[in-house]
Chains A and B, each alone.
Chain A
Amino acid sequence: MQKIFANFMLRDLFHIALENLLKRSLRSLLAIFSIALSTALISSMNLINTSLSTKTNHSYLPFLNLNDYQLFTSVISLIVCIIVIFNSTLISIMERYKEIGTMKCLGAKSSLLLTLFIIESSIIGILGGTMGFVIASLLSIPFFIFTNIFPSAFSYLLSFILSISISLIVSLIATIYPAYYAIRINPADALRFEV
């Protein structure tokens, strides 16, 4: 019974999250695109390194299969990406200040709101990761044709998993503070708030 109840809640929350993302479609697209670009960078380098069997020198992050300078550029791109998503999530929560206050007033628990924001950022993360992987595989095709070495299906799969997990982690990191901010909203203040 508890399980069924939880499923119902999740489906409703997913619906709410999707509506919220669609309402701010341009901003959501920007966030997705920024994640996609930065994961595409990592994913493409990973694909190329794997297919060429390039010797990489990282023993502590072997799954990334990147060189020093590649790791450096990836980290920079991920930081930029976190800032972009942080910004857009924070703005979307500020915009919904009154809405969140109303939901709290109607009896939404903090855990429910937190789940809502996690779902929203996961949607962005998964879409961004998938898009990033697609961009990476498309962009690396000319390279593989040129070198005439093609990566195996397995390395494609690994690269896909890598890009999805990186983008999920990035989008979740970027949502920590905005979600914390939203949970601390005092409903009495929010109701007085005029946009």
Chain B
Amino acid sequence: MVYKYVVETINLTKYYHLGSSIIRAIDDVTLNIYRGEYLSIMGPSGSGKTTLFNLIGGLDKPTSGKVFIDNIDISKLDAYELAWLRCRKIGYIFQTFNLIPVFTAIENVMLPMIFAGKIKRERLEKAKQLLEKVGLGDRLYHKPMELSGGQQQRVAIARALANDPSIVLADEPTGNLDLNTGLEIIKLLRALNRERNVTIFCATHDYKIIEVSDRIVWLRNGKIERVEAKKYIEKASL
């Protein structure tokens, strides 16, 4: 069964206690993400982008509200099931790439597949294919230190796609890259989004991403300020 929405959040709230004051990092956010769309979360720093990323990615528990991924309520899952979900349903791309430094590019891409229990032949084939897809067919056996920032982010993108996730979450994917490299990464993500119908959720404050997104959610002080839809999704259901 394929659901129309990959991610649904209902009255999602996350408070942090900082001394005696309460920080409302995410305040009553209800958001639906369509399958196959490229959604960007924009907002100044401290507006709750990363918190939303963590909540949707199952890395953090909400104070109240619900997150559904493929109709699974992730707040009800225990640690073991969450690990399963993170492994198979979600791909992560980080600002700081977060590759494992002792592994080569291909081993980094194979890592999520090891966790998913795939056999070696399958893993190798898939990892090669993905790395060729992101344009690193000739860098399979290089370690992260031997790759440029843009190339490292490409490896990270390949790694995020390793288990064919329902959604790819990207937290400032271009934050550590220069202008041109950032643009290449954005184009690559867009191409993957079109070709493989990967749903992409991108938290960013890089205005270059606006041009390629289907929908842009503006976040301010933990609340959705406005939603801008482009092209076919005119009636952005909020």
Chain A positions within 8 Å of B, measured between CB atoms, are: 4-5, 8-9, 12, 16, 19-20, 22-23, 98-99, 102-110, 112, 186-188, 191-192
Contact = CB atoms under 8 A, between A and B. Distances in A.
Interface in B89-109: 92, 94, 98, 100-103
Given A9-B114, A188-B54, A191-B59, A104 B83 contact: yes
A12 B114 contact: yes
Contacts, number: 68
Contacts of B50: 192
B111 interface: yes
B111 A106 contact: yes
Contact of B111 (A103, A110, A186): A103
Contact of A191 (B79, B98, B112, B163): B98
Interface of B: 50, 54, 57, 59-60, 79-80, 83-88, 92, 94, 98, 100-103, 111-112, 114-117, 119-120, 159, 163
B102 A106 contact: no
A12 B113 CA distance: 11
A112 B111 CA distance: 12
A179 B79 CA distance: 17
A109 B98 contact: no
A107 B88 contact: yes
A28 B132 CA distance: 36
A107 B112 contact: yes
